[in-house]
Amino acid sequence: MSKLDERLEKLGFQKLVTTSTILDNGCVSYKPTPLVYEMALSPVTCLFIEGKRVKGYSTYVFDFYKVSYFTKPNDGKKEGSNIKVYGKNLQPSKLLLDIENYLKQLKR
């Protein structure tokens, strides 16, 4: 487990298993995200962190965002209907700082 994994776990995130295979079914092509972390804030709201390698950066860079899911009245399925991005292409140190600040704001 990396130091980043340990820090995020202490903050309440869990690392999700991802696929490294590019999926293409003819209609939709999906390029997987190598690192994904999730923290449930409520039954309908989650924080996500996605990490990826970007040319020009020596480490992974991370996107940090919140998704609120709402149940469709017809079939009861959840769908993401509100996404709030808190950071894009963040270095690990900046990511941790932003997350810690966000969580402090939640506790107020």
Q: How confident is the model at residue 17 (pLDDT cuts 50, 70, 90)?
A: confident
What pLDDT, in 10s, does the model give residues 63-75? 999 998 877 777 7
Whether the CB-CB separation of 46 and 40 falls below 8 Å is answered with: yes
Token couple for 41: 């804030």
CA distance 15 to 8: 9
User: What's the chain's Rg over C-alpha atoms?
Assistant: 15
Is the pTM higher than 0.95? no
Query: Quick one: average pLDDT of 10-31?
Result: 71
Q: What is the pLDDT of residue 2?
A: 86
Burial of 70 (0-12, 13-18, 19+ CB in 10 A): exposed
